[in-house]
Amino acid sequence: MLLKKLSLSALGLITLFGCTRNAISGRSQLMLTSESSLQTQALTEYKDFLSKNKVVTAAVDKKDYDVVQKVGKRIAAAITKYYAQKGLSNELSGYKWEFNLVQSKDVNAWCMPGGKVVVYTGLLPVAQNEAGLAIVMGHEIAHAVLHHGQERVSQQQAAAIGGNIVGSVLSKGSNKIASNVFNTVYAPTAQMGVILPNSRKQESEADHYGLIFAAMAGYNPQEAITFWQRMEKMGGADNTPTLLRSHPTNATRIADIKRLMPEAERYYKAR
């Protein structure tokens, strides 16, 4: 009980002084690291990743290369417009969009802070068309512009800082066993209690705003439902407890997207 109280107190102080409200979502986010520094780190990691993987150029596969460039640029233009309409263009400071297609069987895509995007070739057959690809790219890019990367790094920093603070306090006392127990238990406790639940929140937010961005870019948001239905069929039965999930179940995701569809369709019709 003492360990729990100390860990919560440490994290509470960090959270109190490190939280800001997201200008778009309105959700309070822990921000212990700056967006600019994260963008610098992301650019280094991005270049390193590209140097170690097979990048698909127009010379290699013009059709697939062109579709990734087309969808990416349309999504980026929609996001720029969306933020400008809300008077929040400064939120995209430092963004220099770049879209790369990488040879891999993985059904995946991601976007780093600063607008550095990678799509894996394994995603294209599942996306099936431009609209399906736009749903995924909109979702991944939404993670970046909503500062989810910055938030996740900050959460992990807070967990480490909290552990160090309390670990230091305990190690100075006579109960070295308690210190060892805390160091062993703290990381998984932080993962289940803080990092993963916030990750699920981030996934839901990325679905929400990614749907809007895809719609504003001229892609039918209804494609999101059929895309995730395809993903659900690919995944098969999944009995992972919700507590341990970093992503919502496909069934939950589809239900949420259906609920958000009227809003997305308004953006689609108004483009």
CB-based contact 137:124 (threshold 8 Å): no
What CA–CA distance (Å, rounded) separates 266 from 271?
9
CB-based contacts of 207: which residues, under 8 Å, 6+ apart?
Answer: 139, 224, 253, 256, 257, 260
Q: Is 140 a catalytic residue?
A: yes
Of the residues 35, 130, 140, 223, which is catalytic? 140
Which residues are marked as active site? 140
